[in-house]
Structure 1
Amino acid sequence: MLAKKASHAEYQDWNKKWGAPYGHNVDRPLLLTHRFIDDDPERYGPFGFQWTSHTRAVEYPWAFFTADPRPGMRVMDVGGWLSGFQVVLAKQGCEVVNVDPSSPADLRWTIRGEATEGSHSEIHRRFTSLFDVDVTLVTERLQDTEFEADSFDRIFALSVLEHVDQAEAQEMVNTMERLLAPGGLAVLTIDLFLDLEPFGAFQRNVYGRNLDVCSLVNGTGMTMVHGDPQELHGFPEFDPKRIVARAEEFDLGWSYPVVSQLIALRKPE
């Protein structure tokens, strides 16, 4: 399904509690790149240290409530880098693994500045220590990791898959299926760009591409337990003209024509 404009009051309360998606509003905020040297960096909250998009205002709480994370669960956040979502999961009592191969010098997500000099792992350790949580960072591609099969209860990939091509996205989802324990959930949000095919003329933009979600789902042995084929690109029921006609219903990004596709896949028991 596509993220709707009128989010639940439960989502709004969750965002207020955690400061999602941009961090808490504070007096005299420092630039994002300098917040580690603020006199009180914790005041920004866990979502105040990474560039993000408006779509996360629905994606983060939707993923949380859909997954229902509980103490003792082993969970993975794919592409989590300095996202506050991993902190929330750890605060729930989950064992959290963040799999993210990106470089701190990747200017799309975190501008590297004086306050964030250091290795990928050092910056991440500094971030998690602010909120007194223990998160294991693995700086590899998901499909290159060597985790045991059936070893995770939940795997999240929030606005991640659209940044790779169709073949790699399929490889990543297949890896999730292998790593999930029976009955486990893969919780996915995938950007749908309204300036790309089948809406526009181009196949990709600076952020990524429109993936065939139907192929991703059908390429696994998992069952889609959340998601509307009429609102997911690639399904026969998906009609781009109908999506455009209903655009006012959806949580369309205010700075870019994008809306989130929300999907949860369950591995068979």
Structure 2
Amino acid sequence: MAVFDNEANSYDAWYESKLGKFVDKVEKECAFELFSPRKGMKVLDVGCGTGNYSIELAKMGCEVVGIDISDEMLDIAKNKAKENNLDIEFYNMDVYNIKFDDESFDAVFSMAAFEFIKEPEKAIEEIFRVVKKDGQVLIGTINKKSAWGELYLSEEFQKNSIFKYAQFKTLDELKKLKSNYLVDTAECLFIPPNIDEKDISMEKEKDLSNMERGGFICVLWKK
């Protein structure tokens, strides 16, 4: 999809900044507190983008398949996997029409992609179709009801960024999806987006966790 293709070359650059590195660290910790990868597990990474989590999962010993709707993002992901000597399959594929058989995967993992999913009920049905019985489903996304959600919903971001195409969710909205299979939830990214660089720390993150909503939320289901 062209709109995401235009973001591909600059997407990873933000994660090289101090704030970007911190965000990546706390989001990964949040996800893997809930999600339990094991060696040999076959995992589908939905909305894999430039392969950040596909690579992380592969390094943990998982057999990873990444799907995304941006060829440019996928090209970068393929190159990064090759540079890391990792055997990861990447496909241009839509979450609403996942071209794999029923119960093909031990788990489905999706981080920072559900922001752009307009029909979450339809997407979660397709995700559950391809995951095996007793398989894990982990979704992580920006929390609409947080300082980060407010930033991305601000007039400036809605005019000048990819987030004009986003449809942000709250934790309660995610929990209503396949609620009978819900296992656990977690929040992170309590530091605000406008924090001074010198104040970025895990200590600050922990302090704010007692008084702020997490800017990023993760939800785990078990089929």
> CA offsets per residue over residues 93-122 of structure 1, 9 Å max, x none?
211010111242xxxxx7xxxxxxxxx44x
- Tell me the CA shift for residue 262 of structure 1: 1.8
Q: Which residue, out of 183, 190, 199, partners 1:225?
A: 183
Cα gap change, 1:209 to 1:146, in 2 (>3 Å) = closer
- Tell me the CA shift for residue 88 of structure 1: 2.0
Contact 1:177/1:221 (<8 A) preserved: no
- Tell me the CA shift for residue 61 of structure 1: 2.3
> CA offsets per residue over residues 139-166 of structure 1, 9 Å max, x none?
111222221111211211111111232x
Give 3-state SS (helix, strand or coil) of 2:215's partner: strand
Q: Which residue, out of 79, 82, 87, partners 1:126?
A: 79
Give 3-state SS (helix, strand or coil) of 1:146's partner: coil
* 1:86 alignment partner in structure 2: 54
Give 3-state SS (helix, strand or coil) of 2:29's partner: helix
Contact 2:175/2:219 (<8 A) preserved: no
* 2:216 alignment partner in structure 1: 260
Give 3-state SS (helix, strand or coil) of 2:143's partner: strand
Q: Which residue, out of 112, 117, 120, partners 1:169?
A: 120
Contact 2:174/2:219 (<8 A) preserved: no
Cα gap change, 1:217 to 1:149, in 2 (>3 Å) = farther
The AA in structure 2 aligned to 1:75 is V
- TM norm structure 2: 0.68
Cα distance in structure 2, aligned partners of 1:100 and 1:186:
17
Cα distance in structure 2, aligned partners of 1:191 and 1:180:
24
> CA offsets per residue over residues 17-74 of structure 1, 9 Å max, x none?
xxxxxxxxxxxxxxx959xxxxxxxxxxxxx946445533222122234222111100
* 2:99 alignment partner in structure 1: 146
Cα distance in structure 2, aligned partners of 1:138 and 1:60:
23
The AA in structure 1 aligned to 2:88 is V
Contact 1:98/1:135 (<8 A) preserved: yes
Gaps of 5+ in 1: 1-31, 35-47, 105-109, 111-119, 232-248
* 1:209 alignment partner in structure 2: 167
Structure 1 residues 101-116: aligned runs within 5 Å: 101-104=69-72
The AA in structure 1 aligned to 2:98 is T
Structure 1 residues 17-32: aligned runs within 5 Å: none
The AA in structure 1 aligned to 2:139 is L
Gaps of 5+ in 2: 1-7, 196-212
The number of residue pairs the alignment matches comes to: 185
Q: Which moved more, 1:68-77 or 1:81-90?
A: 81-90
Q: Which moved more, 1:48-57 or 1:126-135?
A: 48-57
* 2:108 alignment partner in structure 1: 155
Cα gap change, 1:33 to 1:209, in 2 (>3 Å) = closer
* 1:188 alignment partner in structure 2: 139
Cα gap change, 1:127 to 1:179, in 2 (>3 Å) = same
* 2:210 alignment partner in structure 1: none
Aligned-pair identity in percent equals: 22
Q: Which residue, out of 75, 83, 90, partners 2:43?
A: 75
Cα distance in structure 1, aligned partners of 2:58 and 2:35:
14
The AA in structure 2 aligned to 1:149 is D
- Tell me the CA shift for residue 133 of structure 1: 0.2
Cα gap change, 1:212 to 1:260, in 2 (>3 Å) = closer
The structure with more radius of gyration: 1
Give 3-state SS (helix, strand or coil) of 1:137's partner: strand
